Structure 1
C-alpha cells in the first residue's frame, strides 16, 4: 500500500479532528463542555459499543484464535506493564500519570483503521476475526487495567469520588467504572455462550455508534483548547507507539511461533497510530490530557511514514 493510500485512509480521521479543533480554538467548546463530551464517550457510548462488539464474537471464534489472542495479549499488556514500570520508577510519575502515559503509548487505533488498511491487503473477511480479537484484548483487558490503575492512583491521593478504604475497596471502585466492568462482563458472558440478540444490538447501537466520531471530535476540541504540545512527553509517546510497540510485537510473535500471515496482521494492528479513546481516558482522569491528545495527532502524522515502511517490509 502506497503512502497515498494510507493518506486517503487517514483523511476522515483528520477531518473530524480538525472540526473539533476549530470548535475548541474558536471557543465554541470550553473545558467544561469538553469534559461533557469525554463523559459521553467513556461512560455511555464506548461501554455500549464494546459490549455489542464483544458479545457479537462467538465463543468458538475466541477459542480457535487462542494463539493470536495470546500473542496480542502478551504484546499489548506486556508493553503496557513495561512502560508503566518505566514511567513510575524511572520518570517518577505518580501512578495515575504513569498509567495514562503507558496506555497511550500502547493502545492502537485498530478500530478506526483496521478494516481500511488490512482489508485492502488481505480482504475484509480475512481480517474481521483478528480485529475482533484485538478489540477484546484492548477493550476487555487493557482499558479496564489502565482504568483500575489510574483509579488506584487517584484514590491513593484521596481524589477519587466515593473513595473507599483499603486496597480491595480501591480496586472495586476501579472495577465499578463502566469502561472497566462492561467489557469484562461481556467477555465472561461470551465465554458462557451468550450472543447479544438483534434487539439488544439495535438498542445499544443507538448510543454506541457515535463512539468513533465523538472520540475523534473530542480529541480535536481538547487540542484546540489547550494547543498541540510538541513537548518531549507527547513526542515520546508517539514514537513508542509507532516504532517501539511494533518492534516488540515482532519479538513476541516470533516467540509464540505465529504463521507469517498472522504475524503480519499482528504487527500492523499494533503499528496503527495512538487511539482517540486512550486520549479520552486520559482526559477522564485529567492526567497528561494535552500531551496524550497531541500524541494522537503526532502519531497519526508519523504513521504516514511508518505504515508504508512496515507494509513493504512485511508483505
Structure 2
C-alpha cells in the first residue's frame, strides 16, 4: 500500500519530466519553446485549474480558523525563511530572494497532493489542497509578484499590487473562492469547459520542465540543498508543530502535515522562466526536491500512520 501510494504520487511527475527531457535532448521539440509552455501554464491553464478547485470547495472550509492557521503559518514561515536566506546568506536581490522563497515554500499540491492525500486520509484530505492553493494565490503569490514587478520596473507599492492582482493566477482563484462562499455554482457546461483547459496544467508544466532542463547541466549546490531541506523537511515539521499547538483534530492534522512533505511545485520554474529570474536554481530545486520527496513522503506517511 505504501509503495503504491509513492508510485502514484511520483510516477506522473517522473514520466512528464522524462518525456519533456527526451523531446528536448533529441530535438523533437526545440528547447526555446519552453517559454511558450511556461506562459501557457502560468497565465492560462493553472489559473483555470485553481479557479475551478475554488468554486467546488465547501464554504465551511473557509471558516475553520485553526485549520487555516496551521497551513497558512507553515507556508508563510517557510516562505520567510527562504526570503531571508536568499537575502542574508546567498546575497540575492529582492526579486531573486522572492523567487527563492517560492522555491522553498510552494508545495506541489495540485499534482502530488491528490494521490497522497486520497490514499492516507481519504477524500476529505483534498480540502487541505484547496485551502493551501487559495492561501498561495490570495496571499503569497500577489505579494511575490508585487516584489518582482516592483523591483523590475521601479513601480510604487500600490501600482505593483494592482499589477499582481491583475494576473489571472491571482484574480481567478480569488473570484472562485468568492463564488464558493456565496454558494454560486457554475453551470455544468461552463464547469466542463473550464476543466478541459485547467486539467492540462499538470502535464504541460511537467513537460515544459523536462524540456527546459534538457539543455541545463544540473548542479547540486549548497543553495539548492538548503532549499530542499526547508521545503521537504522543515515545512512539514512547522505545520505539524503548529497543528499540535492549535489542537487540530487528527484527520485535519494529517492532511495539512502531508502538504508540507510534498516536493516543490512544478509551477515555480514556470513562474521563474516567465519572469526571467532564478530559473536554473528553481529548476534544480524542483528536480532535487522531487527526488528527495520519495523519502519525505514515505516518512510523512509513516508519521501519519502513528497518529
* TM-score of the two chains, using structure 2 as the length reference: 0.91
CA 301–284 in structure 1, closer or farther in 2 if over 3 Å, else same: same
> What is the CA deviation profile of residues 176-198 of structure 1, one whole-angstrom value per residue up to 9, with x for unaligned ones?
22212222232233333333222
Q: How much does 1:4 deviate?
A: 6.0
1:83 aligns with 2:82: yes
Q: Does structure 1 retain, via aligned residues, the 8 Å contact 2:74–2:242?
A: yes
Shift in alpha-carbon separation, 1:155–1:256, aligned structure 2, 3 A: farther
Aligned-partner SS, 1:246: helix
Residue from 283, 288, 291 that aligns with 1:293: 283
Distance 1:90 1:9, change over 3 A: closer
Which residue of structure 1 lines up, in the alignment, with residue 192 of structure 2? 202
Distance in 1 between the 2:2 and 2:180 partners?
Answer: 38
Deviation at 1:27, TM superposition (A): 3.3
Q: Structure 2: how far apart are the matches of 1:75 and 1:184?
A: 21
1:307 aligns with 2:297: yes
Q: Cα distance, 1:37 vs. partner?
A: 0.3
Which of 168, 188, 210 is residue 178 of structure 1 equivalent to?
A: 168
Q: Which moved more, 1:43-52 or 1:81-90?
A: 81-90
1:1-315 equivalent positions in 2, closer than 5 A: 2-3=2-3, 5-63=5-63, 65-123=64-122, 125-156=123-154, 165-315=155-305
Q: Which residue number corresponds to residue 162 of structure 1?
A: none
Q: What is the Cα deviation at residue 51 of structure 1?
A: 1.1
Q: In the alignment, is the contact (CA less than 8 A) between 2:48 and 2:195 conserved in 1? A: yes
Partners of 1:198 and 1:227 in 2: CA distance: 46
SS at match of 2:111: helix
Mapped contact 2:98–2:144 kept (Cα < 8 A)? yes
> What secondary structure sits across from 2:215 in the alignment?
helix
- TM-superposed deviation, 1:110: 1.8
- Once the two structures are TM-superposed, the CA of residue 287 in structure 1 deviates from its matched residue by 1.3
Q: Distance in 2 between matches of 1:7 and 1:203?
A: 30
TM-score (norm 1): 0.89
2:142, 2:161 within 8 Å by CA — same for their partners in 1?
Answer: no
Structure 1 stretch 174-183 or stretch 24-33: which is displaced more? 24-33
Q: In the comparison of the two structures, how many residue pairs are matched?
A: 305
Larger mean CA deviation between 227-236 and 92-101 belongs to: 227-236
CA pair 8-182 structure 1, distance change in 2 beyond 3 A = closer
3-state DSSP of counterpart to 1:292: helix
Judging changes above 3 Å, is the alpha-carbon distance between structure 1 residues 126 and 84 closer, same or farther for their aligned structure 2 residues?
Answer: same
1:93-140: per-residue Cα shift (whole Å, max 9, x none)? 1111111101010111122122212212222x2323222222222333
